[in-house]
Amino acid sequence: MRVWIDLTNSPHVLVLRPVIEDLRARGHEVDVTARDFAQTLGLCDRLGIAHTAIGHHRGERLPDKARGLASRTTALLRWARRVGGHPDGSRPFDVALGHGSNDVTVAAALLGIPSATAFDYEWATVQHQINCHLARSVVVPDVIPPERLAPYGATGKIRAYAGLKEEYYLADLEPDTAVLDELGLDAALPLAVVRTPPEVSLYHRFHNDRFAVVLDRLRSQGQVVVLPRTDAQRVELREAGGFVIPERPIDGPSLVALADLVVSAGGTMNREAVAVGTPVYTTFDGKPGAVDDALIADGRLRRLEDPDAVDLVKRAAGDDGESGRIRRDPAVLTDLLLSAADG
């Protein structure tokens, strides 16, 4: 089988890395396209994922996103027609896969290629309206009520999995302390990892004032690695001083696993922390999704209400989160995504 995988954002590289490896181990041919956005291309290089870079992010406004979708989909169509089953005699694609990628779902539909889409936050309505209507399989966590997905056209297409996607793609993670040396961190001192609010997003349009207070408090208590989402955030953090700001893609999962505390406005890093047993606060201001609601109800994720209540302290010796880890087989995700090719 020939499989096309499209990566449009940094977390998708981590999510689909074990799927790509599993597909190739099964003997399938895999072609990867990737968008130049955030650290997507850098992470592909770091993880050794051969890819064709196509397109870039066009901006956060809805008209910009629409132009970006049209432009990149057109570029993907040209690429797929060139490499997939056309005059050069190359083998056609049997299925196209993406994690929240509108571009590959639209391109695949125009080419008549069955596709699967995956996501774990159900309120990104514009994205899901496109993907769920066009994809043959919709791969989501089983805690998302199917009735929430029905308006998107997902009825009869849902392929649900247990737990968190992070428990699958981090199943083989053994934290590497080399990331501490790479960033000049002292393993004996308290360490916080902070992910800034996702300003470039359709579903998170709220200014998050709590972050300034949290950052100042954490900076006074220990080492703070901040992972900005935009160049403007990076500049502002440099000007503030006192933070460690990686200049290139790093081993983020290992950093999260080795941290004493994680504070994040986005979903993926919060759930990575949950998956590896690191204490974590969320400052997400958008409409809560079923996954985070379940984690908060279980006490595995805490909502940050009072920034002054956040304390950065070194975890006790032996408290590495391993005892509470759940490691799931990534082959489960592979099977669910490949269900789109079953007809």
How many residues appear in the chain?
343
User: 212 pLDDT band (50/70/90 cuts)?
Assistant: confident
3-class DSSP assignment, residue 341: helix
User: Looking at the structure, do residues 102 and 239 belong to the same domain, yes or no?
Assistant: no
CB 26, CB 63: distance < 8 Å: no
Phi-psi region of 20 (alpha: psi -120 to 50; beta: other; left: phi over 0): alpha
Q: pLDDT of 46-60, one tens digit each?
A: 999 999 999 977 655
- Amino acid at residue number 180: L
Q: How confident is the model at residue 206 (pLDDT cuts 50, 70, 90)?
A: very low
Instruction: Give the model's pLDDT for residue 317.
Output: 76
| 186 shares a domain with 139 | no
Clarify whether residues 40 and 120 are in a common domain: yes
The amino acid occupying position 135 is A
**Is the domain of 191 the same as that of 151?**
no
244 with 296, same domain: the answer is yes
For the chain, the first-to-last Cα distance in angstroms comes to 14
What are the backbone angles phi and psi of residue 60, rounded to the nearest 5°? -95, -15
CATH of the domain at 9: 3.40.50.2000
Q: Is the pLDDT of residue 318 over 80?
A: no
pLDDT in tens, 69-78: 799 999 999 9
Q: Which range has the worst mean pLDDT, 27-36, 58-67, 201-210?
A: 201-210
Domain that holds residue 315: 178-324
> Cα separation of 288 and 121, whole Å?
8
Average pLDDT over the chain, rounded to whole? 90
pLDDT in tens, 170-192: 999 999 999 999 999 999 999 99
**Is the pLDDT confidence value at 298 over 80?**
yes
Note the pLDDT of residue 200.
44
- In the chain, the number of structural domains is 2
Q: Are residues 136 and 18 in the same domain?
A: yes
